[in-house]
Amino acid sequence: MENNNFMKKFNDILESKLMPIGDKISRQRHLKAVRDGMMSVVPLTIIGGLFMIIAAPPVNKDVFAWSPKVQGILLLPYTMTMAIMAFFATIAIAYSLAKQYELEEISASVIAGVIFLLICAPAQSIIPKGMEVPQSMLSVTYLDAKGLFSGIIIALVVVEIIRFLKKRKITIKMPDGVPPAVAASFDSIIPLLVCIVIFYSISVFCQLTFNLSFPQVINKLLTPALNAADTLPFILICVLLMKLFWLLGVHGGSIMMSLLTPIMTANLMTNAALSTGGQNPTQIFTSIFIYCFAITNIPPSVLALKSKSAHLKAIGKVSLLPAIFNIGEPLVFGLPFVLNPILAIPFIIIPMINISIAYFAVKLGFIAKAVVEPPFTTPGPIYAFLGTLDYKAIILWCVLTTIAFVIYYPFFKIYDKELLKQEAEQMEN
């Protein structure tokens, strides 16, 4: 009874304080556009990472290594996907926000792409060795993680400019009878011109005033925040909020990923670029780090399956296979974890403990930092190895899973007894 009263008070606090915040985050158009846009380019990280593994297999170079020429050929798919993902993310985010505003999505995406290339990858005239005629080359420096946040800003602002002009009917009006596709192309002329003037002016101002490019300015401004985001306290707070949202019955991952996906993706892209360049990755906070070491779906599924109550056994049978493939919804809503005064305790505590252990293991160099993003549904130990290309990550995953089993066990015993008592009372009635 005391547990139920405590949980009710705890739930009331969360609903009054946390739920309004979560609701605003989930409904905020710009955050939703960033989340959806970033999710749409996840396949680039998966495929690019796959070719990176093939080009630089996780074995000792004395045992096996491609020749530089072959390795360059194998790395090209990575170079044209993950290594220039900021460009694709800009287009996807602009498309998502334009769709929410019911604007012309393709036009908005094209304009955002043009502005991104103009500001972040301006053409440079060089004379290659052995040639006399200058060649125009695009700068690729800010097409990867270093240009991602500039791309996000460009995408959001471009769409807002298009929306502003459309609301005030500042457009080229075509006569009736002109095909819609032709009319749409003329509609984008003024927004494109306005965006070029605004962003190029800002870019020139940054260069003349600070001797820095636009993406360099953005990165310098964001560096303190990004450095703070790679610390243990920040990661723990994010995981805690995610779990608290789940306890309220809302999708904690969906809400928090709106805020965290750009940071985690940028960190992963940075690590991948450093790794392919022969340098050591630097960033800890990636989606692989969270999904590998914070999500613990298998222990509760197995413990439910081994329980005596009919309810837990049924949930264990249904949830075990999804849990192996990192899908936890059957557990969250089936056991349930939602508003459960007994299971809520390990549901929150275990990720905090496991993330702390994993953070120091990575920070101290015992486990490699993530450089590849495998498909989310890859089973845990395989996911850990493919993400980090370090076999010791499998050992860490096993250790953390064991810890989760040990902590969950007494709580499941208590919950199992309670359910058995309830089932017995139902049988008597």
Would you list the DSSP string of 256-278? HHHHHHHHHHHHHHHHHHHHHTT
State yes or no: pLDDT of 15 exceeds 70.
no
Mean pLDDT of 343-353: 92
- Summarised one tens digit per residue, pLDDT across range 51-71 is 988 888 877 776 777 888 888
* pLDDT confidence of residue 128: 67
- The neighbour count for residue 278, using CB atoms within 10 Å, is 7
* pLDDT confidence of residue 2: 53
d(CA 337, CA 331) in angstroms, rounded, equals 7
Peptide bond just before 336 cis, omega within 30 deg: yes
Average pLDDT, the chain: 88
d(CA 127, CA 34) in angstroms, rounded, equals 39
State yes or no: pLDDT of 86 exceeds 90.
yes
Q: Rounded to the nearest 10 degrees, how much is the dihedral formed by the CA atoms of 70, 73, 78, 79? A: 120
H or E element: which one contains 100? helix 85-100
d(CA 40, CA 49) in angstroms, rounded, equals 16
Mean pLDDT of 358-380: 91
**Secondary-structure breakdown of the chain: helix, strand, coil percentages, each rounded to the nearest 5:** 70, 0, 25
- Summarised one tens digit per residue, pLDDT across range 249-258 is 777 877 888 7
- The neighbour count for residue 105, using CB atoms within 10 Å, is 17
H or E element: which one contains 323? helix 310-324
Secondary structure of residue 295 in the 3-state scheme: coil
Residue 97's contacts (CB-CB under 8 Å, 6 or more residues apart) are 29, 30, 33, 37, 108, 155, 156, 159
Alpha carbon of 89 to those of 84, 132, 139, 351: distances in Å? 9, 36, 17, 30
> Residue 10's pLDDT band (boundaries 50, 70, 90)?
low
Mean pLDDT of 181-194: 83
State yes or no: pLDDT of 7 exceeds 60.
no
* pLDDT confidence of residue 140: 85
* pLDDT confidence of residue 14: 63
Per the structure block, which two tokens stand in for 185?
Answer: 């192309």
Lowest mean pLDDT among 46-60, 89-103, 292-306, 363-377: 46-60
State yes or no: pLDDT of 158 exceeds 60.
yes
Secondary structure of residue 10 in the 3-state scheme: helix
Q: Rounded to the nearest 10 degrees, how much is the dihedral formed by the CA atoms of 138, 144, 146, 151? A: 80
* pLDDT confidence of residue 329: 85
* pLDDT confidence of residue 292: 85
* pLDDT confidence of residue 17: 67
Residue 67 β-bridge partners = none
pTM over 0.85: yes
d(CA 99, CA 109) in angstroms, rounded, equals 10
* pLDDT confidence of residue 136: 73
State yes or no: pLDDT of 373 exceeds 80.
yes
Mean pLDDT of 352-359: 95
